[in-house]
Every structure is written in structure tokens, then in C-alpha cells.
Amino acid sequence: MNEITTGIKVIKMYAWEKPFEKIVSALRGEEIKSITHTAYIQSLSVAIQLFTERVTLYIIIVFYVLLGHELTGAVVFSVSQVITSLLLNVCILFPLGLTAAAEVKTTIFRLEEFLLKEEREEIPKIVESVTKETGLVNLVDVNASWTTQTILPTLSNMSFKLPPGSLCCVIGSIGAGKSSILHLILRELPLTSGILRVDGKISYSSQEPWVFASNIRSNILFGQPFEQEKYHSVVSACALERDFELFPFGDKTHVGDKGSSLSGGQKARINLARAVYRDADIYLLDDPLSAVDPHVAKHLMNKCINEYLRNKTRILVTHQTQFLEHADFVLILDNGKVKNFIKSSELSDTDLIRRLSIPIETPITSKAPQEMSDNNVPRMSVDSEMEDEIDESQEKQELIEKGSIGLNIYKKYFQSGTTLTVLSIEIFLLIIAQVFCNCCDLWVTFWTNNIALSRSNANITSPLNSGFDSTEYPGDTTTMTSFMNSTMDTKGSSLTTAPGNSSFNMFSILDRAHLTQNFYIKVHTFLIVFAISLTILRSGVFFRICMSASKKLHNLMFSNILHAKMRFFDTNPSGRILNRFSNDMGIIDEKLPISTLMTLQTVGIASGIMVMVFIKSVYMIIPAIILGVIIGWLRGFFLTTAQNIKRLESIAKAPVFSYVTTSLNGLQTIRASNAEDMVKREFDDIQDGHTAAFYMFLHTFQAFGFYLDMTSVIFLAIIIVQFLLSPNALSGDVGLVLSQCLIVVVMIQLATRNLAEVANNMTSVERLLQYTKLDNEGPFESLPVNKPSLTWPEAGRISFKNVYVQYVIDEEPVLKNLNFEIKPGEKIGIVGRTGAGKSSLISALFRLARIDGVIEIDGIDVGKVGLTELRSKISIIPQEPTLFSESIGYNLDPFRRYHDEILWKALESVELKKVIESLDMVVTEGGSNFSVGQRQLICLARAIVRNNKILVMDEATANVDPYTDDLIQQSIRKNFKSCTVLTVAHRINTIIDNDKVIVMDAGQILEFAPPYELLQDSESFSVLW
């Protein structure tokens, strides 16, 4: 889920919702199988709790009778009392204890496994110099590898020395080890041999910008004290002043999760500003210039790296060779080895630099259009939906429901799990199972009564003041409720004439005189078997319904999230979404079914007992009504409070997930900044917020239990006083009523607590249902009348007619009145400063935003075409290459539409065939086992496989060396010669050979003409360079 929420924009642009839905559905199916097995075991456990006492009593009675003993009430009472006392401890508390112990053991083992993992340690072979040279970096015969299993080290025989205050530019082809050198200096890459010496504090700017959900100033300061003069100097050096003017709240503007409201260039500069603001002796800058336009890149090089950081040791990884002249040293890497370590003045004599140097900024002259040749290769790109646009909205607050859970939530939950017919059958099974359990008790009563009648027809009850024989009737028991009901008549009459005796009347049709012991045993066996079967059946069916509801709710929520508008992901952090799938889904899977079934069971038991108590003493109705009113009021008051607290607790958990995810993404930056303690403190604060809410929830439950206990004590006191004030009270009545009142009080408390737990767990269902009502992007399949042909688009003609684009209704459009046409096969460059609307134009083409107007492809209005059909017909290579933790083959072709030969051919065309062992090669999370450049090439291979008539590229060459840049150009020239190509770019040589260039500013098109015409206008196109 973390990968999906991170790469949702890529999933939508590639129209990959269905394959990912299939993957998650399969994984969920495996998960639900395990949960279902556990649920069935739980259902069996709950069923056993109900009939264990009866089965045990049955076995004892049968053996007792078969051994020739006479069954009496005293024997039954004595045995049942022992069984009852053992039941709670052996059959309920002991299994719960074992379950808790097993869960604790599993948790401890998982924590132990994590805590015992190899930790990042200080490299032991660092030389501590006697005379410390602050800013010195020295490597001598260094070998380093990420894992010990690799045959060849990541860095091999690495030797060079940087004096303090020098600037070293690191260049090389993709996968050469440029970033690995920085990771080695940061102590992230383990040193296997050699000597590494680093003197001084380190500051680090990562290749993939790390921006966390907070305001921009917090992202730059990152725990450092605010110094106004220094802060403004850093902001100026990193070219952020103009951006702050555009932001609605300046540097206090809140940026979403992973900087979703920022452009790629803005994120890169904020990331650089964080590193620069930190006082350090050594600055490690991993390609911060690739995501910005040439003007900004020059500014960063001159004002930031050369001027602001002068006298500091700087190691700059870059592919832009025009900046090498500013360096003191140039480190040229090839395949993890130092090819050359020279001064910048010696570059012209280096063979490798000549191979790598394809000029980034060539002299620009006006020229007429010409046919595409081997040297005229266009590039294509597309920014993300919000990449170049400023999002003025703050992070959306999570929706919080108020009040008690409505009945419609329960209704939707059970409707998700079954039909009304099956639910009715389950209710019938719940009732009939309880009836058969009670019949078992009644039959034992009938059996012992007949034996007593055969011995004597004497009255077995006596007034209260004559004493109650505690030896014959030693205690209370739920099993013998009906026995006491049948043997103790309130009027002191004999058993044969006891009026209103339910057990007596129930079996009165039988001829007692001719009933044998075998008949009693057979009937008892029949009732026991039916009770067990029905109890197990009703529990199994109930858990099946709950598991079905859980599976359906999960799939429904996931499907809605996949099809939600991009605005949802821009305004909701990933931790909030993950919280629904982990915490809330876990409660629905594991806690809700068992608590609901226990509630139904305790309510059934309590109801049965109350009916029998009312039969024996009608005066008990009044105290019972008072008890019911008080408990009902307490429950209502508690549920309103507890459910709101539960909602707050669930919401408070989302920031914990978000913070952990964000911290893991920026782990190297956190370590390089020595900010571990700060991050721990912030995490503790967030965790304390969740703990406080959970602690309050537990206290609320404890308070509720306390008031229930006090109410129960008062209720029992009233009953006792009632009998003390009744001179004609019989001892049998007193024993029956008090024993049953004790039981019913316990059952009512259990039922009330379970009802409260069910209601609290239902808040998770409520939260999941919220995500099943998200605004949908629109129809994903075309109506039959609007369905385009399978070969559409055949030409690749694109036209915009009076197009306006909005991300939020009632806000200013980000694109205004766009009108232009792109002819089939044309190569179009799209340029403009940050916030000009470049990415919104591409978003409009993919229908990632709200559109007014008409966009046509080959004469067909894309607004009438299903999103899946539209997006699957447009190829895109995103600026941030996204790979998923599946096989290489799946990342290239998740639908399995193409033969392996086609996939291998695509990989070969981007020169990755030697790197990738097989199509089944596993991609780690985020594609971390590939360099950024290699990931970009895999994305290019993905576009080659799809072979669409329209291709869009978003700065696809920003993170690659000039040689790979040339490789991409050749591949595009070969595979997309007849395609319509759109290129969003910062580099002029990327779009200078295009047929036409769109120049944008403030959401409008300023110019749309061939580049040789635009170069003659100093007010628009050429001023950008």
C-alpha cells in the first residue's frame, strides 16, 4: 500500500488500476484465508464456552447412572457447582491467557528480530589524524559493498584526496558509483577494506529531494535555530525568493506529503537550502542541478556553491559538464572505479570526459526547420499534476464523525457480508441454538424431578425462617436454573402440582412412570448433540459472514482509492490512508467478529435467565426495569463519549504512520544532519498524542465498568431488602432469585461491555465506509456510442479548444483559454518558468484535473472516452521514475500482453540487457536496487513496449549522464520516429530540434512556433536560456 500511495500518479497515467487491483486482491485473498482459519478456531472456542459445562455434566451424569448410582438433585447441584467454578478459569480465562501469550511471544520475536539486525556503525578504519585538517577527505585503496554476497564490490580500489576548501565535481555514466561515494563518506555504504579519512561536519543534499509535510521554513531549518540574516542569504543563494513570492503564505506555506504541491525544481532547491543552511565543513551535493532550468542552475552554481559555500569542501555529483570549469578537481568514475582524478584544466586530455561530454548548452543560432537526423533527437516529458503549479490549499483535515454510530453502519456492514436471507437464517440459528442449550438444562431438571418423585412426593421447599439446607443445595449454577425453577414452587406445593413450572409443563406429555434411565440418557444425548451442532454451526456461519464483509469492504475501499481523484492524494498524507488499511482493517478483521458474537451470546443467556426470574417473582420486574433504565442511560452516555474518543484515537494514529514513512524516506538526510535525536523527540510527541487518546479511551472503559458494578451492587441490595421485608418468603425462592440475579448481573455487565466494544469497533467500519464514497475520476470505460476503435489513435493529432483547467472548483483556473493544434508526428517542446502551467497542460491531456473546453485526439473528444482507454493510449516517461516491488517483467507489462521477446528487445534498446538477469528479477521497494538513471531507462523501455502514437516525457534525461542522454535520444529516434511527441524540458538542446515549441506563462500560451522563429524574440523564448 505504501508503494501504491507513493506511485499513484504513475499508476493512473499508465492506466494500471486493474492489474494493481488484481495484485492487492490476490494478496488480500491470501491474508483473509489465514484470518478466516483463525476466525473459525475462534468460533469453535466461543461455541465450546457455551456447551462445555453441559457436555461435562452430561458425561458425568451418564457414567454416574451407568455405574448404578441414583441421580439426585444434590449430586447434580454439587457437580454443576464444581463445573461452573472451573469453567471460567479453565475454559475461558486460560485460553484467553494462552492466546495473549502467543501474541506477545510473536510480537517479542518480531521486535527481537528487528532489534538484532546489523546496525550502522562507525567505520573502524577511519584514521584519526594527529593534526586535524577540517574539511579533508582522503580515501586510500578503499573497497566498499552494500552486501557481502556481491562478487564485485560497489566501489573498488578507490583512492583520492580532497584538500579543505576545494570543489570536486564527480561525473560518470549511470551506475558508475557517483552516489555511492557520497554514501561511503556518510557511513551508509559499508567499508570492506582500505582507509577512509573524513575530518569535519558533513551536510548532505540527496539526489531525490526529501521534503516532509510541514511549512517550507521548517523544511529548510530542519531543527536548526532561525537566524534571519543567514536564512535570507541561503534563500537568495538557492533562488527561492521568487517562489516565496508566488506561494500564498510565503515560506510559511504548508507543503503536502513528499512535497506534493511543489515542482521538481522547487523541491530540489528546498532540499539544497536545507543542506546549505546547516553549518558544516564538508558539503555532499548529489546532483541538485538536474531538476532546474539553465538560468537557475547557473545561479545555484555561482551564488550558492561557489560563493556562499566558498572555503568549504564541496563534492558535487553532476551530469552537466559545462560546470566542470568551476571545479578544483574532477573525479571521473567508471564501473565503481576511479578512471581519473584530475584538475579541471586537464579535462581536454581525458578520453572518458570526451565520451561523456555531449554539450549541455551549445551556441544557439537561428536555423530553418529540417528533417530529423541522427543528430536531431527530440525528448519528451510531462510534469506531475501539481508539479509546476502552486497549491494554495493547506493539508486537508481528516473527516471526524460525531455522536453515536448509526444503525445504518451496522446495516451496511452486514449487507457487505451476506444477503438478507442468510442473515435471517443466522438469526434463527442463534435463537434455536440457545433454545436447545436451555432444553438440555430442562431435561436434567425433568430427569431429577422424576427420580425425586419416585422416592417421595414430599414438599422440598420450606419457609425462610426454617433454614435452607446448604448441603443439599450448595450453590448457584447457570446449568441448574431450570432445575430450581421446577423443584421450588413459590407456594410450597408439591412437584406434581407446581403451577407455572415451565420445565414441568414442557415434558408433561411424557408418561413418567414408564421412563427408563436409557430413555433419559438417549434424549439427553440427542439434545446435547443438537445443541453442540447448532452452536458450532451458528458460530461458523456468523464468522463466515464477518469475513465476507471484511473482504468486500477492503476491496471496495481499495477500488475507490485507486479511482479517486488526484486531489485526494495531494491533500491526504499517505499515513492517513495506510492507517485505514492497517489499524481499522485489522480491527474489522480480528476484533469486531468475536466481540459481536460474544455480545449476541451473552445477551441470549441474560435474556433467558431474566425470563425465568420473572416467572418466579413478578416483583422483580420493577427493579429490573430500573436496572435496565440506569444501564441504558450509562451505556448511551458512555458510547457517545467513547466513540468520539475512539475516533480521535484512530485519527491520532495516522500521523504516526506518516512520520515513520517520511523519516524512512529521508533517513540518509536525517543521519547526515545528526538530527536523530530531534526526529526521535518529534516522533515521541506524535506518539504521545496517540497514547494520550488511547489512554483516555481505556480510562473511559474502566469508568464505565465501575459504574456498572456499582449499579449491580445496588440492584442486588434492593432484591435482598425486598426478601427481608417479606415475611412469607420461601427459602427456595430466595435461593433461586438471588443465584439467578447474581448470574444475570454478570451477564448483563458482559453484554453491556460487549455491546460497547462492538459499537467502538464499528467506528472502524464507519471510517472505511468514508473511503468508499470518495469522488471518482469519472467513467473508466467508454459508452458504446463513444467507444473509439482499437487502433485509435492512428495519427496522433492533438487539439485544444478553449480549454480551462481547475484543480479546485470555484478557484482561479490554472490554465486559461488554451487553443492550439499539434499535427500528427510533430515533436513539440513545452517550456516556461515554474508555475507557468506546463504540467497542468499534460495533466489536462491525461484528464487528471477538471477540464472545461474540448481536447481532441484524432478528432475524438477525450472527455467522452473512458479514462482507461485514453491513458493506455498515451505513453509517458515521468521525471521521477517509479518502479514497484514486483518482477522486471511486471514493471514493463503488468497486463502480460506482450511476449518476452518484445520485453527483452525493449531492454536491449536501452542497453539494460546486461544489467538485468531475467524478467523474473525482483525489483526492491521503490526500485532501490537500481540507480536513478537505470530506473529512467526502464521507464523508457516500458514506453517502447507500449508503442503508442503519443509519447510524453518529463525531464527524462535530467538524472542521466550525457552518454545515456544520447542513448535515450537514439532510442527515441528509432522507436518513436512517426509518433507525436510532447517534451517538458529545462534544457534548450532537449527541445531545440523540435518542430515547434510552446512557451507558457501564468497558465496561458505566449508563443507557439518553430524554435528558430522564437529565438528571434528576446522577450519570450530566448530569455528563458
| pLDDT tens readout for residues 507-564 | 555 555 556 778 888 888 888 888 888 888 988 899 999 999 999 999 999 999 999 9
Cell numbers placing 413: 456492514
Query: Counting runs of H as helices and runs of E as strands, what totals does the chain give?
Result: 33, 21
At 710-734, the pLDDT tens digits run 887 887 787 777 777 776 655 545 5
Q: Report the alpha-carbon distance of residue 939 to residue 953 in Å, rounded.
A: 10
In Å, how far from its chain's centre is CA 697? 24
Weakest-pLDDT range from 178-182, 664-668, 733-737: 733-737
The single residue listed with the C-alpha cell 481532441 is 856
Residue 403, pLDDT above cutoff 70: no
What is residue 372's three-state secondary structure? coil
With a pLDDT cut of 90, the percent of the chain lying above it is: 18
Distance CA 414, CA 416 (A): 5
Burial of 858 (0-12, 13-18, 19+ CB in 10 A): buried
What 8-state DSSP symbol labels residue 884? Answer: -
Q: Are 994 and 827 in contact (CB under 8 A)?
A: yes
Asked if 438 contacts 607 with a C-beta cutoff of 8 angstroms, the reply is no
Does residue 377 have a pLDDT over 90?
no
pLDDT of residue 823: 92
Rg (CA), the chain: 38
Share of the chain above pLDDT 70, in %: 81
Give the pLDDT confidence score for residue 951 in this predicted structure.
92
Neighbours of 977 (CB within 10 A): 11
At 48, the pLDDT band (50, 70, 90 cuts) reads confident
How far apart, in Å, are the Cα atoms of 119 and each of 48, 192, 707? 48, 15, 50
**Are the C-beta atoms of residues 572 and 760 closer than 8 Å to each other?**
no
C-alpha atoms less than 13 angstroms from C-alpha of 140 in its C-beta half-sphere: 7
Mean pLDDT on 359-387? 35
Instruction: Give the residue-averaged pLDDT of 930-938.
Output: 84
User: Which residues, listed in sequence order, are joined to residue 509 by a DSSP beta bridge?
Assistant: none
CB 395 within 8 A of CB 213: yes
The tens digit of pLDDT for each residue in 595-642 reads 898 888 888 777 777 766 666 566 667 777 887 788 888 877 887 788
pLDDT at 275 over 90: yes
Helix (H) or strand (E) holding 241: helix 241-246
Pick from 410, 552, 360: nearest CA to 988: 360
Residue-level pLDDT at 358: 41
850-857 and 798-806 strand pairing: antiparallel
Yes or no: say if 703 and 695 are a contact pair by the CB < 8 Å rule. no
Region 379-403: mean pLDDT is 45
Lowest mean per-residue pLDDT among 111-115, 152-156, 353-357: 353-357
Same fold, 2-113+418-770 and 137-356: no
In this structure, CATH architecture of domain 2-113+418-770: Up-down Bundle (1.20)
Q: Bigger pLDDT: 380 or 3?
A: 3
C-alpha separations of 954 from 264, 971, 982 in Å: 10, 16, 9
- CA dist 528 and 283 (Å) reads 79
At 969-984, the pLDDT tens digits run: 778 878 888 899 898 8
The reported pLDDT for the residue numbered 514 is 58
Q: SS3 of 928, please?
A: coil
Q: Is the pLDDT of residue 985 over 90?
A: no
User: Domain limits of the chain?
Assistant: 2-113+418-770, 137-356
- DSSP annotation of 342: E
Measured CA distances, 707 to 629, 700, 702, 745, 757 (Å)? 13, 11, 9, 13, 16
CA pair distance 526, 528, nearest whole angstrom: 6
Top-tier CATH class for 137-356: alpha beta
Instruction: Cell 448410582: give the residue.
Output: 69
Count CA atoms within 13 Å of residue 24 on its CB side: 23
* Model confidence pLDDT, tens digit, residues 797-834: 999 999 999 887 777 888 999 999 999 999 898 888 77
State the helix-helix crossing angle for 73-86 and 17-66, rounded to 10 degrees.
150
Which range among 122-136, 741-755, 861-875 shows the weakest confidence by mean pLDDT? 122-136
